Amino acid sequence: MSDISSLVKQFSFSKILKTDPQTKSIVLLGTIDSKDAIVSLEKSHFLNESVENINSLIHDLQIINHNDIYYWSLTSLNQKLPEIPGAKLNIIYPATETHIRKYGEQKYHYVLETPEMYTKYVIPYIDTMKGDRIKWVYNILFEGKEAETFIHHDEDKTNGFVLLPDMKWDKINLESLYLCAIVKRMDISSVRDLNESHVEYLTNIKSQILKVTTEKYPINKDELRIFIHYQPSYYHFHLHIVNVKHPGLGDGIAVGKAILLDDVIENLKILGDYYQKRTIGYLLGENHGLWQDTGYRNAHLNAN
């Protein structure tokens, strides 16, 4: 706690990178000790217990308008940690140019990525995004970083994985439950690398995730959604697990970003090299490193 408090106090604001009215969040760019830093703030979702006595939850009311049976106003909320948090705060420090582009406002394009585009442009890009760029992933998998938060840790180098809370979850509100499973094996960068030989592997991971999660939390298997991102945020295979009621995922669960794990498994059963042969459609922001590649961008524009 003391470390992040110190970082917040040192944060010097430069500009707003992005605001999102759906997720009630804002992302700020600034500096800490002359190095770029990103601070994101997201307003907390209401806990059921916190609204049982509304008069203790709110203070100060300012009327906006009134019409017949309808009233609307502004209000302030009473807040207390950890029971009634006002917001969740994340810091990335030092932040790289890749982070700044990722979290900034940007225009999106619908891309149809052919297998040829993947081979020629995406594979070389993936190679540049490994090593030190995902050192934090290796810290989790092999150095015990964040071990105190692990929900499950299977150390088998081929079939094992770590299941832990995603940094997007406040670990308080079950309705916004968000977990991440990061696999131990190093040979899968994205869904493009999956084939028929991985069907049993993926099925087993799914089974373990559902078993462990429902034993850890009061939630049923059919209240969980497991999915994969393409393009992913980082190129070491991982899965996202969320409560189906999650209210604020933004584009993280949208068509053109998320692929359900069950769909991946079924596709591989139908055609073993499905993800090597098919053209994949997805949304890509102009700040993404792939879009910055003139060759990739021209290949997309010429194909449409």
Stretch 248-276: mean pLDDT, rounded? 92
For the stretch 58-115, pLDDT in tens is 888 888 888 787 888 888 888 877 777 888 899 999 998 888 988 888 899 999 999 9
For residues 80 and 177, state if they share a domain: no
Pick from 88, 115, 144: which residue ends a domain?
88
238 is catalytic: yes
Residues for the chain: how many in total?
304
166-170: Cβ within 8 A, 24+ apart: 166/240, 167/90, 170/44, 170/85, 170/88
- Residue 99 forms part of a structural domain: no
Residue ending a domain, choose from 57, 88, 119: 88
Q: Are residues 164 and 80 in the same domain?
A: no
Q: Which of 61, 88, 115 is the last residue of a domain?
A: 88
Token representation of residue 304: 């449409």
Specify whether 65 is located in the same domain as 131: no
What pLDDT digit, counting tens, does each position of 194-241 carry?
A: 999 999 999 999 999 999 999 999 999 999 999 999 999 999 999 999
Summarised one tens digit per residue, pLDDT across range 12-34 is 999 999 888 777 889 999 999 99
CATH number at residue 54: 3.30.200.40
Q: Same domain, yes or no, for 81 and 156?
A: no
Name the catalytic one among 238, 246, 288, 300: 238
Give the pLDDT mean for 42-61. Answer: 75
Considering the domain architecture, whether residues 39 and 81 belong to the same structural domain is answered as: yes
How much is the pLDDT for 50? 60
pLDDT band at 252 (very low <50, low <70, confident <90, very high): confident
- If you average pLDDT over residues 153-177, what whole number do you get? 91
pLDDT at 279 exceeding the cut of 80 = yes
Per-residue model confidence (pLDDT) at position 104: 86
**Any idea what the CATH number is for the domain that residue 162 is in?**
3.30.428.10
Question: Does residue 144 lie within any of the structural domains?
Answer: yes
User: Which residues sit in the known binding site for substrate?
Assistant: 136, 146, 166, 168, 229-240
Distance CA 150, CA 165 (A): 8
Position 150 in a domain: yes
pTM: 0.82
User: Per the domain annotation, does 287 fall within a domain?
Assistant: yes
Q: How far apart are CA 102 and CA 96, in angstroms?
A: 10
CA angle centred on 28, ends 174 and 19, rounded to 5°? 65
154 lies in the same domain as 238: yes
**In terms of domains, do 277 and 225 share one?**
yes
Structure tokens at 254: 């949208």
Which has the higher per-residue pLDDT, 26 or 46? 26
Range 155-159 average pLDDT: 93
What is the predicted pLDDT for the residue at 61? Answer: 87
Residue 47 falls inside a structural domain: yes
Q: What is the span of the domain harbouring residue 74?
A: 2-88
For position 49, what pLDDT does the model report? 61
**Count of domains for the chain:** 2
pLDDT higher at 119 or 65 = 119
Which residue in 96, 104, 109 sits closest to 291, CA to CA?
Answer: 109
Give the pLDDT score at 35: 93
What is the rounded (10 degree) CA torsion for 241, 165, 48, 18? Answer: -90
27-36, 127-136, 245-254, 280-289: the lowest-pLDDT one: 245-254
pLDDT average, residue stretch 120-137: 93
Q: Is residue 100 part of a domain?
A: no
Residue 151 pLDDT: 96
Please provide the average confidence, as pLDDT, over all residues in the chain: 90
- Assess if residue 285 is contained within a domain: yes
| pLDDT given for residue 1 in this prediction | 41
What pLDDT shows up at residue 51? 64
Considering the domain architecture, whether residues 122 and 40 belong to the same structural domain is answered as no
What percent of the chain lies above the pLDDT cut of 90?
A: 64
In terms of domains, do 42 and 139 share one? Answer: no
DSSP string, the chain: -HHHHHHHHH-EEEEEEEEETTTTEEEEEEEETTEEEEEEEEEPPPPGGGGSSHHHHEEEEEEEEEETTEEEEEEEE--BTTTB-SEEEEEESSPPHHHHHHHS---EEEEEE-HHHIIIIIHHHHHHTSGGGGHHHHHHHHS-TTGGG-SEE---TTT-EEEEE-TT--SS-GGG-EEEEEES-SS--SGGG--GGGHHHHHHHHHHHHHHHHHHSS--GGGEEEEEESS-SSSS-EEEEEETT-S--GGGGSTTTEEEHHHHHHHHHH-TTHHHHS-EEEEEETTSHHHH-HHHHHHHHHH-
Question: 202 with 288, same domain?
Answer: yes
Question: So what's the pLDDT on residue 302?
Answer: 83
Say whether both 117 and 208 belong to one domain: yes
CA–CA separation, 232 and 192 (whole Å): 11
User: Is 97 within the bounds of a domain?
Assistant: no
- Is residue 204 domain-shared with residue 125, that is, in the same domain? yes
